[in-house]
Amino acid sequence: MSDQETMIKMKDVNKWYGDFHVLKDVNLDIKKGEKVVICGPSGSGKSTTIRCLNHLEKFQEGSININGTELIEDVKVVRHIRSQVGMVFQHFNLFPHLSVLENLLIAPTWVHNKPRKEAIETAMYYLERVKIAEQAHKYPNQLSGGQQQRVAIARCLCINPEIMLFDEPTSALDPEMVSEVLDVMVELADEGITMICVTHEMGFAKKVADRVIFMDAGQVIEENEPNEFFDNPQSDRLKTFLEQILSH
Amino acid sequence: MATYTMKEAKPAPTANKGIIFWLKENLFPDVKSSLFTLFGLYVIYSIVPPLLDWMIFNATWSGTQDEVVNSGARWIFIIEKFDQFMYGFYPESLHWRPNLVAIISIVFVFSFKYIKNLKVKIAGILLFPVVCFVLISGGWFGLEVVETEKWGGLMLTILVAAVGIIASFPIGVVLALGRQSNMPILRTLCIGFIEFVRGVPLITILFMASVLLPLFFHDGIEFNKLLRALIGITLFQAAYIAEVVRGGLQAIPKGQYEASEALGLSYWQGMILIILPQALKISIPNLVGSFISLFKDTTLVLIIGLFDILAMVTLTNSDTNWLGYEVEGYVFVTMIYWVCCFSMSQYSKSIERKFNTEH
Ligand SMILES: Nc1ncnc2c1ncn2[C@@H]1O[C@H](COP(=O)(O)OP(=O)(O)OP(=O)(O)O)[C@@H](O)[C@H]1O
Ligand SMILES: [Mg+2]
């Protein structure tokens, strides 16, 4: 297991919001190319965990290492890490004043200093990949939720990231649009990018994940490979949780 | 179980049912509304015809004072003093210079919307004030120098307002950002400045600018009156801009900040490329509102001895040859202010429309 390169290493990470202890000794080792799904009840700290990885949230104790770089509070280091980590949000967070194509050009041209022409080629390539190239000149609010989320994924891919973080990417979508986004994510997973995905889509987890992690009250309670995880949960809390999400 | 067949779409009921129907529907639908309509018509009837009589039909448009026979407005006063209202004491032979500035400004303002290239836009913004200043004050390219004491009238009003608006804008934006900063000292300074300025009337700021500023720069630096007024007005306006922009910034969802950070944009890149364009766009109506108030507030510069258009009217009224023409003077100034402010608000609407169709 240890002969593979480690991509993400979280060691005893602790975080507080004021007096509220959100993350309690979170440890996480993710190898290059691994797909990890995180699930758990609302408020358990899933978002907070993955938002620490690209420094959208600060943590007070412990350490995080991303692809060999220690995450410290230094503008350059944070920028370096963010340039390798793409993040897809629940509410897409596309820039509404820019066209789809311009949304995809921002990071390559301003952060990675790519020539505009090259950036446009890359952008069109990824729009093609998420099957939305014909919408390149529309504005985000002219697209459906599923289309917006696919644009958001393409926007991350344009910086050619090592790691993709997904924070409940399908939970703000109408049911009939969930699968078009999941399909794109499955395709991505097949290409060997390192992926951490907070989701309750069990089908996706079974199909794609190498490992599923269950968090509750700011702790990692249980982790296992997907089939074992769902068919043979160990802890009572996970059993209750699975009953709840599978009961409807 | 029940099944239903699909229905064809029908055209919407037509709205056009003739003028009589429209009148009845909108002006006389019931007794109460009819009374209001009649009352409104009566008010219009009792105000508009006498006003038109005074302003146009019974007005005197030419000739000398002795020839006035009509009971209406004597616009000959305005015609006689027109140059002073427009340019103050700016030498008559050089009036072409402010005129040229006016033409350049109008062309600039209307073509600005259509300039696509960002570099040309920025060059325009930077070059425009320099060209205007050189043209008006002279001193370069063989242009004769005209001291600021001679500047006046509408020219001065517009100049003070324009400088106030243009210079205060970047300062206001920076203050608004400073107010949101997580550096405590910077934040406190910005809040302190904004709240202080907003808590005092413009007139006190103008007095302070004209009395206090020279104290700071006492080493023989000649600080002219106009410059002092401009600094005072700019700082005053900056505080209001800051508050308007802050409102815009607060309306931007947190997700926008997070997305721009997550993509690796620096603070300033995120602000300039992502946050400010959106925040300023939603602030346009309030920004223009604040510009319009500033335009009207510029009349206060007469307090510290500058002759803007209002001051020129007051001054020309004390001309012993032309006593008793206050009404014409003030009506004229009122119209000028209204035209300027109304144009500003229309221009802002056209910008808003442009933005709205873009998205
Ligand atoms: N900025 C904040 N200030 C204070 N408390 C916060 C803040 N952000 C999150 N929390 C709290 O931290 C806890 C963990 O939040 P987090 O968003 O990580 O949960 P989550 O597991 O992603 O839940 P969900 O499924 O609802 O997204 C929650 O109890 C939440 O109320
Ligand atoms: Mg969450």
Going by C-alpha positions, the residue among A59, A51, A14 that lies closest to residue A219 is A14
Stretch A8-21: mean pLDDT: 92
Query: Any residues with Cβ below 6 Å from ligand 1, and which?
Result: A 17, 20, 22, 40, 42-48
Q: What is the model's pLDDT at position A105?
A: 94
Inter-CA distances, B37 with A42, A81, A184, B41, Å: 59, 69, 63, 6
Neighbour tally for A202: CB within 10 Å:
18
Give per-residue pLDDT as tens, A198-208: 998 888 888 88
Q: Is A93 close to B259, i.e. CB distance below 8 A?
A: yes
Q: Is A93 close to B256, i.e. CB distance below 8 A?
A: yes
Q: What is the model's pLDDT at position A246?
A: 76
Q: What is the model's pLDDT at position B308?
A: 84
Q: Testing the interface with A: which of B256, B257, B263, B352 to mutate, by most A Cβ within 10 A? A: B263
Q: What is the model's pLDDT at position A1?
A: 42
Residue in chain A closest to B265 (alpha carbons) equals A111
Tally the residues of chain B.
359
Q: Is A89 close to B274, i.e. CB distance below 8 A?
A: no
Name the residue of A13, A20, A23 to mutate for ligand 1: max ligand atoms within 8 A of Cβ. Answer: A20
Residue appearing with tokens 């699968």: A179
Q: Is A111 close to B277, i.e. CB distance below 8 A?
A: no
In which band, very low, low, confident or very high, does the pLDDT at A2 lie, cut at 50, 70 and 90? very low
pLDDT over threshold 70, residue B313 = yes
d(CA A152, CA A174): 17
Stretch A108-137: mean pLDDT: 92
d(CA B341, CA B162): 13
Neighbour tally for B90: CB within 10 Å:
21
d(CA B133, CA A107): 40
Q: Is B258 close to A96, i.e. CB distance below 8 A?
A: no
Stretch A5-27: mean pLDDT: 91
Q: What percent of chain B has pLDDT over 90?
A: 29
d(CA A57, CA A78): 12
Determine how β-strand A219-224 pairs with β-strand A61-66. Answer: unpaired
Distance in Å, CA A46 to ligand 2 centroid: 6
- When mean pLDDT is compared across A20-34, A160-174, B24-38, B212-226, the lowest value belongs to B212-226
Cβ within 8 Å of residue B200, ≥6 positions away: none
Cβ within 8 Å of residue B116, ≥6 positions away: none
- When mean pLDDT is compared across A191-195, B74-78, B331-335, B342-346, the lowest value belongs to B74-78
Distance in Å, CA A52 to ligand 2 centroid: 12
Distance in Å, CA A165 to ligand 2 centroid: 12
Q: Is B264 close to A139, i.e. CB distance below 8 A?
A: no
Contacts of B269 in chain A (CB under 8 A): 110-111
In which band, very low, low, confident or very high, does the pLDDT at B61 lie, cut at 50, 70 and 90? confident
Cα of B180 to nearest chain A Cα, Å: 17
Q: What is the model's pLDDT at position B254?
A: 94
pTM score: 0.84
d(CA B15, CA B71): 48
Q: Which ligand is nearest to the CA of A245?
A: 1
Name the residue of A14, A48, A200 to mutate for ligand 1: max ligand atoms within 8 A of Cβ. Answer: A48
Q: Are A59 and A65 in contact (CB under 8 A)?
A: no
Give per-residue pLDDT as tens, B67-122: 777 777 788 888 878 888 888 888 888 888 888 988 998 898 888 878 888 888 88
Q: What is the model's pLDDT at position B110?
A: 82
Give per-residue pLDDT as tens, A47-104: 999 999 999 999 999 999 999 889 998 889 999 999 999 999 999 999 999 999 999 9
Cα of B269 to nearest chain A Cα, Å: 8
Give per-residue pLDDT as tens, B245-276: 999 999 999 999 999 999 999 999 999 999 99
d(CA A58, CA A74): 12
- When mean pLDDT is compared across A139-143, B142-146, B241-245, the lowest value belongs to B142-146
Residue whose CA lies nearest to ligand 1 atom number 10? A17
Cα of A93 to nearest chain B Cα, Å: 5
Going by C-alpha positions, the residue among A248, A247, A210, A244 that lies closest to residue A229 is A210
